[in-house]
Structure 1
Amino acid sequence: MLGVAGVGKTRLALQLAHEQLSLGTFQDAVRFVSLDTLNDARQLPSRLIGDLGLTQRANTDPLEQLTTFIAKRRMLLVLDNFEGLVEGSSLLSQLLRVCPNLKVLVTTRERLRLEEEHVFPIEGLPYPGGRAADGPLADAVQLFKERAQQAHPHFDLERELAAVLDICRLVEGLPLGIELAASWVRLMPCTEIASEIRRSLEFLSSTTRNVPERHRSLEAAFEASWGRLSPQEQEGLRGLSVFRGGFTRAAASTMAGATIPLLASLVDRSLLRVSPSGRYDRHPLLYQFTREKLAEHPEEQAGAQGKHAAFYLSLAEEAAPQLRGREQVRWFGRLSEELDNFREALRVLETKGDAETALRLATTLGHLWSTRGHYAEGYSYLTRFLPEVARPSVTAAKASLLAADLAWVQGDHKTAQTLLEQSLTSAKELNEKSLWSRSLGALGRIAQLNRGDPEGARSLYEAALERAGEVGDKEASATSLRSLGGLHSEGANYRQARLCYEASASLAAELGDDHSRAKALVSLATVLTYLGESAQAHVLNEQCLELFRAVGDAHGAGIALLNLGVDASEQGDLEGSTERYRQSLELFRGLGDKRMVSHLLNNVAGVLQKCGDLPQAQELLEESLAIQRTVGDVSLVAHALNTLASVYDDQGRPGEAFRCYQECLELCRETNDTWALMRVLEASARWHLGRDNYGAAQTLLAEAVALAHASGDRKTLAKALEARAMLEAAAGEGARAVHLSAYAERLRQTLGFARLPRYQHDYEETLARARERLGEKRFKDAWAHGQVLTLEEAVRMCRAFAETPTARTPPKDTVAP
């Protein structure tokens, strides 16, 4: 759609998109993409990826990712305000060549000059020709009336009709021209507005030789506004043109010397708009007009851009400590409002070749990039500027650390490792112990989660804590304690994990950093769940979810929702669990956090298995394992294998189930992942029990009970005790089977978690066997005795059984596949 500024291309394109959506012509998607804030054609593929709901993958060419996604989909892309990106229009040719079912509708003021281009000229609204009687019903006149009454509630169309018709003819029904003209009714009568338009040049631009003199360019409307400004107002408006995405009154005053009377005048003339919050912006076309005015004064432009970059660097540096303090919610909101201005400052600094200042700004914004989920964008800035900056320097070292974090969360732990080694080397050379601590901690995370080296991770975490302590860096200490808590939790040392998380939360509270405190508490909630304190865990998760949402931390909110989904699942609320998991998965997919997407796929698969949807559960688990081939989180691999084994078992595929259990056991032992180990021991034992392989089941359960007891994981202990009761019932030991079943049931009721439907039959069969062997009275007595056992008595009972298995174990094991 080709037309002059303000002709209504956007509105028409939106209407067409809605109609196509209703008709279902494009079965896969109809997407509208506004490009008015994009001024760098190189960023177009990334913008399209984001607007299509995708997450830009690290180390992948954005155009390749885009074409792979669209491929043969029947899709309509509506690209609005393309005129600023004409030099990059060849991208559209490339898309259309490889995507046969793709259609692209572009609105622009400038032809693209492509072979594939079909031009549809767009003209203005219908306006009256010569007869005044037709005037009041014409679309252009009705638009003028609506806008005029917004500016002046007592505007009388009937009295001004002749002049309004004159104006509509002068602007040839151009919507923006009409709106601008109508805005002046507050200041002058319509006859004067018409006279002002006549005195301006090129209102409607045309190269046709026989166009009447009254046909001018759209610029005439802007020039009419501009011409009514004083030199001081013009200078102020030019200065305001460096802002992108809006600005505050304080920023306007500091950078452009804009006073309250000046801003009020510009708002009254519709050259600025003001939101209820007091933030200013303007129509994109007016924005471009004023930027062109500024470009006519190169020295003034260079000065304004320099002030703009300096102002937003100063704002970022002022905000950085506040993002970790008591006012963090407000400051996160403020920085997010200014994101387009930060991008503009970075663009200008890059254009001027000032990589050092650009890197300083991109690094200072690091907490915003990571908390608000701008992983790919932040990583792009940091890695573009890093090679241009001399090292070692504190800024470069911080940038390497931040880039590593952003690479890791996108699943690229190898690049993260390289960047962290650079950061650590620089931190040591500069003796920057806070940075040293953070680099060690991040390397520990890779050792723990990607290399399966818990001892190496422990050494790095403890060294990080020591470095932070040497300089009294409570923030870094809190982070190190969280990391150590995660390591202890993975090793099922829940009591020690709890101490670490509580200490981390305490340090964060001292700093007034509720966001960091929530990170510790949401992890503590997970540990409390394992320790059987589900009610307190639920409260913590709800509180943390609220705070994460307040600061805009989608990752933290995803963790809290994941925990709440687990809580709902264990209480048997599969619908509530599914909804929480769905919300969490949507957040992590949006962030591009592959590791957590894999985690959620595992959990959703578990719910699907409970609901009996085994094919879908298997599909999600296989997707999770495919992700882990690149991410390499051994704990999540173990989780997926354990669940996949049970799905195979439910599908009647025992051989494949056995192989998954064995692979999972080996992986857990190799990496000392006690959390996963005790769970797969219990699940694998049940597999053996189902095939009368009692000797193997007894060995596995003895280890599972010992680990669950040592770690304080009472939920896993309850499940293991129920499995042990099955073994005792099969061996003819009815009383012991009832004792263990009764104690396990008491644990379930105390902890508030439901039995898996797939295990309910085993549980009922165990009790039926015992009741038949003991009789009703002895059964009730045994149940009552089991209900009052202590934890230590129940565990000792299991140990005593394990010491004398031969007398009660059936003489023959089945052969494992």
Structure 2
Amino acid sequence: MTVKFLGDFKIQVDQQEISGLSTLKSKALLAYLLMEGKKAQARSTLAAIFWPDAPEQTALHNLRQALMVIKKAFDQTGCTEELFLSSREAITLNPTLTIEVDALTFAQGMEELFRWMDGPPRRGFPIRRLQSLIDLYQGEFLPHLSLPDTNDFDDWVVLNRESLNRQAIQGLSWLLQYHENRGEWHLACPVAQKLIRFAPWDEQSHFRFIQCLLALSHNSAASAHYQTAVQYFRNELQVEPGHFLNVAKRSIEKATASAPAASSFQTAALPHFPTAFIGRARELDTLEAWIADPHCQIITLTGPGGSGKTRLAAFLAAQQVSLFQDGVYFASLANCSGIQQISASILQALGTLTEQNQDALEELLAWAEQRHALLVLDNVDDTSAAAAFAARLLERSPRLVLLFTAYSRLDLLGEKVFTLAGLSLETDPCQEAPPEAIQLYLSHLQPESLPEIRSTEFLAKVETICQLVEGMPLAIALAAGQTRCMSATDLVAELSHNLDVLRTSSANLPDRHRSIQASFENAWSHLSPQRQSFLARLTLFRAPFTAAAAEAICAIRSGDLRALAGESLLTWDTTERYRFHRTIWQYAREKDVLPATAKIALQQKYAEWFANRVLEFLSDHELAHFAAMLAQIEAELEDALRSLYWLIEQRDWARVKPMILALFRYYEARGKYRAGSAAMSEIAEACGKMENGLAAQVMASSRAALLALRIQQFTSAARWIEFAAAQATAQNWHEEEAFCLNVLATQAMATHSAGAGEKYALQALACARQYAVEEEEAHALYTLGNSRINKGELSQAEADLLECKHICQERKSWRKLMRVLNSLADAACYRSDRQAALDCYFQALEIAEGTQNPYSQALIVNNIGTVYMELQDYPAAQEYLTHSIELCQQVYDREGEAVALANLGEIALWQGERDQAVELCRRALQISLEAGSNWGEMSARIILAQTYREQAEMAKARAELTPLLQMSVASDSLNFFYRALVEAAEWLVQTGRPDGVAVLLA
């Protein structure tokens, strides 16, 4: 929630503005509680503040009414959490809510900055923080909110208003001084204007604004403002112009008579760059705070080559110029290998290197003693020498701040280290600008020669390019440079393959920045041969890997991993995994530092390690461990699949087949049906090319088919299961035959052939029982149970499902147990035992949440919503159905979304909101037709038919009933068929044809 009280009264929840505060008292009460409500506010105190003249009981009643108005206003935004925690005695803001109140943010931020504002800065200041706070202050506190009948509230507003205004004036004055000291008059002018707006009575503010105008040679504007200021003081304040305005007058006269004076501001000798600096807002805020911290003396910026360390350090230094008493200095330490060379390079940058052959370190120590200065020391090659140098320098010069850029930290006590990653690809919801990485890419292009630069398609390609290089600034700049000679589409295709295209011949770039490979080679050259070998071996991993995997496979200890991460060649996730940046992985992999035999042995270890990791998944059946095992496979999936393909090439079928089963179980449990069907079909194809690979090919094909059926890819599923079933039968692979029969049953049910589905399920059940395949026995019982529910044979259906449930519990088959619980709940609903249904649904939901399967969660949550509909608990029903829609949208489950929308439409109909019912069901019908969902279509049409009939739109009602009856008959959907019959009978009666009811029922 965002709250704007400075210059306005505006409250937004998820970017939706609160608009239902119908009374002035409710607005005032809400403002008071948002400002003061972190501490419990007594109801009696609130009543006395806002209704001081009313009897206590009346005031407390008014308070309850105002709180109800506030709650209703928030409910209208869809906010489901309580804003306040209330008791009989007190009211408190809900501490679990994230509420950003601009007035509180401004006041607290300014208080933090005031400790640096006592006098002129001696060593640094978080100037960006001050600028952002000043931008936040858009006007006085609650400018149009006043309660004439309560002095206490108005006094509270005035006190806050004056306090915030005082902070704003002090901050503006300090920011204006910053720009004045730097001679940035074009930036100083708007600050001075804002200062006058909030302190028009301050003569010095007018003087400073006039000085800004004169510095910009705006003499006429300066003279005009002087006249306006004089009139204000004489007419409004009844005083004559004082010292500052008299000085301003003389300055105007002097400026009119002579040319403007040159600026006396001396800029630091910082490197210049041919392109604009983009992004790094979060990094700059952190680094500025460190620089201003009196306890921080050493800061090291680390990151891989091309991450923008030098650019960021130079930009940060430029922002701090004028904020250090004795200056800001920049020196490159490239190729400096000892303390004396480092000292000499710095002295040269300072311009104080003497001709005498004296000790450079001693000369630098003499210069630095007692100075408050910032030294930016870029491109450290020798970190041990740099660390020894820093220790010596700061021992003699404790007021210096040293900012290093290096591949690794210096390992000094008190050193603060900031490791740069790529530029952000996340959109800031508070900003309209695109993400930082995309901004940088676009800044390197010429819009005049690229008319498509703002098109959605082009920006999508740019986003993909930035993702492929993981936001690395140098890679983004080099990629943008290629736009002159190749299309964005071709560039995406090239970068998807490798990064060699990222190069330039620009003469104004150092050699190490003319290609990504050159940047990597620079880092590689700083590694010892042992570390080079370690890095090359680790490129075997494609996904983030653990220290245990690195040691078991590559014989690399955790200390060496930490060292490589410290040199910005690996990224550590701060918990257990390391990963490569893509640019480093590609070029490290190309280094041929291992003999061929060692590579084969390493590959064998790699495949065996990940095969064993995946097979652990099949052996551990405890639900408490199930989610963790799923997360483990998800994190290592890319390496697991590569291991599987290597084992297929080695024809190690004893490992391949159980890996196929384990990976199928992962894809099904996670609800990753699309990715799973694609992976299984590719595995099947690979197995089919190898000698003796038919059994594994059949296993992968049948599982690809089942996963494809889950997402209604019927054509592909039919092709895969037809092949698998034929081969399993021909080869007498009975366990696989039972699985294939179950898939054929699922296929028949999904394509509305209930009779065929039941036939295949009975065959699967017989096969599974004959050959003692319990898992497929449970699968067949589940299919039969659902088929019999649809036919209305509830007793037999529940018997099948309970037997299935027993097998699943014994085997701890959580996925199947979840689904059978869901079906048992459906059966309970048909028996009108809604409490039993809810019990089953909530048990199933617990498993779905434990396995982190959003598809199943969406289905079960929708079903829970329908039970609450039957119980006429509409708020609970709407809550669960809305959550189901959110889950469906996350996983693109169009059918589930349509069914949930139709259910919400039915609630709207029951509540008499027919227009809303039509709107919801039309959306459901559109989605169903696009997705080819018969279930969603029937769910929408039955509600539309009833709604149109109740609105006496009989032709529209008939247009829905006709296809509904046809579809329900064709798909054996008896529930929809009976509902359609009842609705058709109602339609006949309402249209004056009651005789037709008998014909219809006959």
Corresponding residue number in structure 1 for 2:925? 622
Q: Answer yes or no: is 1:378 the counterpart of 2:676.
A: yes
Q: Answer yes or no: is 1:405 the counterpart of 2:706.
A: yes
Match of 1:236 among 515, 534, 541: 534
Give the distance between the partners of 2:1000 and 2:373, measured in 1 at CA: 94
* Aligned counterparts, 1:527-606, within 5 A: 527-606=827-906
Q: Offset at 1:422?
A: 1.0
Corresponding residue number in structure 1 for 2:799? 499
Deviates further, 401-410 or 297-306: 297-306
Give the distance between the partners of 2:325 and 2:591, measured in 1 at CA: 36
| Amino acid in the other structure paired with 2:713 | D
Q: Offset at 1:572?
A: 3.0
Give the distance between the partners of 2:573 and 2:745, measured in 1 at CA: 47
Q: Offset at 1:659?
A: 5.0
Q: Offset at 1:218?
A: 8.5
- Seen in structure 2, the aligned counterparts of structure 1 residues 696 and 278 have a Cα distance that, compared at 3 Å, is same
Corresponding residue number in structure 1 for 2:398? none
Q: Answer yes or no: is 1:458 the counterpart of 2:458.
A: no
Q: Offset at 1:273?
A: 5.0
| Amino acid in the other structure paired with 1:619 | R
| Amino acid in the other structure paired with 1:393 | L
Q: Answer yes or no: is 1:486 the counterpart of 2:786.
A: yes
Give the distance between the partners of 1:607 and 1:565, measured in 2 at CA: 10
Give the distance between the partners of 1:333 and 1:159, measured in 2 at CA: 55
- Seen in structure 2, the aligned counterparts of structure 1 residues 683 and 167 have a Cα distance that, compared at 3 Å, is same
Secondary structure of 1:183's counterpart equals: coil
Q: Report Cα offsets for 1:492-541 as digits up to 9, x if no partner.
A: 22222222222111111101223321211122112212211111222322
Match of 2:739 among 408, 426, 438: 438
Match of 1:183 among 367, 389, 409: 409
Give the distance between the partners of 1:383 and 1:160, measured in 2 at CA: 69
- Seen in structure 2, the aligned counterparts of structure 1 residues 535 and 699 have a Cα distance that, compared at 3 Å, is farther
| Amino acid in the other structure paired with 1:183 | R
**Cα pair 1:598 1:627 within 8 Å, conserved:** no
Deviates further, 248-257 or 676-685: 676-685
**Cα pair 1:371 1:555 within 8 Å, conserved:** no
CA RMSD of aligned residues (A): 4.8
| Amino acid in the other structure paired with 1:492 | G
Q: Offset at 1:551?
A: 0.9
- Seen in structure 2, the aligned counterparts of structure 1 residues 189 and 164 have a Cα distance that, compared at 3 Å, is farther
**Cα pair 2:702 2:720 within 8 Å, conserved:** yes
Match of 2:546 among 216, 239, 248: 248
**Cα pair 2:896 2:936 within 8 Å, conserved:** no
* Aligned counterparts, 1:204-219, within 5 A: none
Secondary structure of 1:280's counterpart equals: strand
Q: Offset at 1:685?
A: 2.7
* Aligned counterparts, 1:286-301, within 5 A: 286-288=584-586, 290-293=588-591
* Aligned counterparts, 1:465-476, within 5 A: 465-476=765-776
- Mind listing any 5+ residue stretches in structure 2 that lack a counterpart? 1-277, 281-303, 332-364, 383-402, 417-473, 479-502
**Cα pair 1:326 1:513 within 8 Å, conserved:** no
Q: Answer yes or no: is 1:281 the counterpart of 2:579.
A: yes
Secondary structure of 2:980's counterpart equals: helix
Match of 1:524 among 799, 811, 824: 824
Corresponding residue number in structure 1 for 2:185? none
Q: Offset at 1:133?
A: 9.6
Corresponding residue number in structure 1 for 2:723? 422
**Cα pair 1:409 1:594 within 8 Å, conserved:** no
Q: Report Cα offsets for 1:756-789 as digits up to 9, x if no partner.
A: xxxxxxxxxxxxxxxxxxxxxxxxxxxxxxxxxx
Secondary structure of 2:671's counterpart equals: coil
Q: Offset at 1:561?
A: 0.7
Give the distance between the partners of 1:692 and 1:327, measured in 2 at CA: 64
**Cα pair 1:308 1:345 within 8 Å, conserved:** yes
* Aligned counterparts, 1:774-789, within 5 A: none
Secondary structure of 1:184's counterpart equals: coil
Q: Offset at 1:544?
A: 1.9
Give the distance between the partners of 1:422 and 1:140, measured in 2 at CA: 70
**Cα pair 1:424 1:440 within 8 Å, conserved:** yes
User: Could you say which structure has the larger radius of gyration?
Assistant: 2
Q: Answer yes or no: is 1:126 the counterpart of 2:352.
A: no
Q: Offset at 1:461?
A: 0.7
- Percent of counterpart pairs with the same letter? 20
Secondary structure of 1:245's counterpart equals: coil
**Cα pair 1:326 1:514 within 8 Å, conserved:** no
- Seen in structure 2, the aligned counterparts of structure 1 residues 650 and 579 have a Cα distance that, compared at 3 Å, is same
TM-score (norm 1): 0.58
Q: Offset at 1:322?
A: 3.6
**Cα pair 1:170 1:215 within 8 Å, conserved:** no
| Amino acid in the other structure paired with 1:335 | I
- Seen in structure 2, the aligned counterparts of structure 1 residues 214 and 616 have a Cα distance that, compared at 3 Å, is closer
Give the distance between the partners of 2:734 and 2:574, measured in 1 at CA: 46
| Amino acid in the other structure paired with 1:442 | V
Secondary structure of 2:759's counterpart equals: helix
Give the distance between the partners of 2:330 and 2:791, measured in 1 at CA: 72
Q: Answer yes or no: is 1:688 the counterpart of 2:988.
A: yes
Corresponding residue number in structure 2 for 1:644? 944
**Cα pair 1:441 1:480 within 8 Å, conserved:** yes
- Seen in structure 2, the aligned counterparts of structure 1 residues 329 and 308 have a Cα distance that, compared at 3 Å, is same
Corresponding residue number in structure 2 for 1:780? none
Give the distance between the partners of 1:290 and 1:184, measured in 2 at CA: 24
**Cα pair 1:529 1:537 within 8 Å, conserved:** yes
**Cα pair 2:786 2:797 within 8 Å, conserved:** yes
Deviates further, 125-134 or 397-406: 125-134
Match of 1:665 among 955, 965, 968: 965
Q: Offset at 1:247?
A: 1.1
Q: Offset at 1:262?
A: 3.4
**Cα pair 2:324 2:374 within 8 Å, conserved:** no
Corresponding residue number in structure 2 for 1:764? none
Q: Report Cα offsets for 1:692-731 as digits up to 9, x if no partner.
A: 5444446768x9xxxxxxxxxxxxxxxxxxxxxxxxxxxx
**Cα pair 1:358 1:385 within 8 Å, conserved:** no
**Cα pair 2:709 2:750 within 8 Å, conserved:** no
Q: Answer yes or no: is 1:607 the counterpart of 2:907.
A: yes
- Mind listing any 5+ residue stretches in structure 1 that lack a counterpart? 1-77, 81-107, 111-119, 142-155, 172-176, 191-201, 704-817
Corresponding residue number in structure 2 for 1:58? none
TM-score (norm 2): 0.48
Q: Report Cα offsets for 1:433-462 as digits up to 9, x if no partner.
A: 222122112211222231x32222111111
Q: Report Cα offsets for 1:327-363 as digits up to 9, x if no partner.
A: 422211211121343355578899x899999998666
Match of 1:331 among 622, 629, 639: 629
Q: Answer yes or no: is 1:257 the counterpart of 2:555.
A: yes
Q: Answer yes or no: is 1:448 the counterpart of 2:636.
A: no
| Amino acid in the other structure paired with 2:714 | H
Q: Offset at 1:121?
A: 15
| Amino acid in the other structure paired with 1:519 | R
- Seen in structure 2, the aligned counterparts of structure 1 residues 448 and 221 have a Cα distance that, compared at 3 Å, is closer
Q: Answer yes or no: is 1:396 the counterpart of 2:697.
A: yes
